Amino acid sequence: MITLEYKLKGKPAQYRVIDDMIRTAQFIRNKALRYWMDHQNVKLSDLYKQCAILAKEFEWARKLNSMARQASAERAIFAVQRFFANCQAKKPGKKGYPQFKKFTGSVEYKTSGWKLASDKRRLTFTDGFAAGTFRLVGSRDLHFYAPSEIKRVRVVRRADGYYVQFCVNVKRTEEVSPTGKTIGIDVGLNHFLTDSNGDTVPNPRYLRKSEKALRRAQRKVSRKKKGSANRKKAINKLGRKHLKVSRQRKDFAIKTALCVVKSSDFVAYEDLQVKNMVKNRKLAKSISDAAWSQFAQWLQYLGKVYGKTVVAVAPQYTSQDCSACGNRVKKSLSVRTHICGCGTILDRDQNAALNILAKALRQTGIEINTAGHAEINAWGQTDLYSLVVTSTSKPTG
């Protein structure tokens, strides 16, 4: 499943109709969750029946396409399933008990309630809300995909406008020539990543660079009267600045992961528990700004697309153990050079990257030949990974 994203171009009145569609979807989702709370052994089919009852009870809810109402109920049941999965897995901390949504930003259709024009550049919503026809602004061509392959159409509201995402049921695979290289990656705050060859990628620190502008925009919001039109405008400007930082971070993570995957046949990285690491108040902002989790997700996804082997290993003692002799050399975070009694002197992060690579090779049972290269066969992995690819039209922030 891949996702193609376009910006919706329409009239202001049409955007207000989309807001009504999103509010209705939120109402259906919250009502479905309330029904689950009040009854036992609720199944998805029960929530579908509840959607039909709500459509009869509320005339404005009937305007939303029936499949869109079902998709809203599915959001509620997915939240319930995630909660039980966390409980069964004995996940530490809060398990994510389903909550009522107050500020939903999207509405999802299935295979009805919308229609694409013959040129695939215009989208019309055909349900009771009658939002009308929107122009699609984007670089990806929908002509490559049959209408039957589009399984979901999701309308998303962001600070800089309204977008539509087409979820297409196709497999994405890319063919590249084997490189015969293996690489271990250690992510950090000084450098975004350091590999086992000693090469580094600078940390862009997008949030840190934008903090001054964000503070200024936040002060403007605070000075405006609550409920006023000027406050809404100031909130929108603040949201646009945050959206720009988010897009910069995502773009950097994708491009960096793509370079790593294309350059090597075997990639090893640390399986960091970022959720626990951000509890450190002194480093939380810097860790969040680095977006390690997003980078790891794209590594895994692109590894599947390009048929490469991507392995996550436990991070314990990768910085402390010597990559040459295996002795444990205790060091604090401020010590950036690894010095071992065996004579090994390396950058701390490169030493960790070498340990990560060695761990991954042992974990997968891959042996090193006499030339020092790993005997691997990373080809033939063409199964699509369950992560969605988003292709935006162009940067707008």
> HSE of 289 in the Cβ direction (CA atoms, 13 Å)?
20
By C-alpha distance, which of 191, 387, 355, 331 is closest to 269? 355
In three-state form (DSSP H/G/I as H, E/B as E, the rest C), the secondary structure along 217-229 is: HHHHHHHCCCCCH
Q: Is 160 among the catalytic positions?
A: no
Helix axes 292-305, 229-263, angle to 10 degrees: 50
Q: Which of 265, 289, 321, 349 is catalytic?
A: 349
CB atoms within 10 A of CB 243: 15
Alpha carbons 201 and 310: distance in angstroms, whole number: 19
* 55's tokens: 């459509």
CB atoms within 10 A of CB 373: 12
Find all residues with CB under 8 Å of 56, minimum gap 6, and list them: 62
- Using alpha carbons, list the distances in angstroms from residue 143 to 118, 163, 355: 9, 19, 47
By C-alpha distance, which of 224, 226, 251, 221 is closest to 239? 221
Q: Is 175 among the catalytic positions?
A: no
Alpha carbons 348 and 333: distance in angstroms, whole number: 9
Q: Is 127 among the catalytic positions?
A: no
Q: Which of 5, 127, 186, 321 is catalytic?
A: 186
Alpha carbons 30 and 25: distance in angstroms, whole number: 9
- Using alpha carbons, list the distances in angstroms from residue 217 to 12, 223, 249, 302: 25, 10, 20, 36
Strand bridging mode 161-168 / 200-202? unpaired
Handedness of CA 387, 390, 395, 396 (dihedral sign): negative
Q: Which of 5, 195, 270, 289 is catalytic?
A: 270
> HSE of 327 in the Cβ direction (CA atoms, 13 Å)?
10
CA dihedral 258, 262, 266, 267 (to 10 degrees): -20
- Residues known to be catalytic: 186, 270, 349
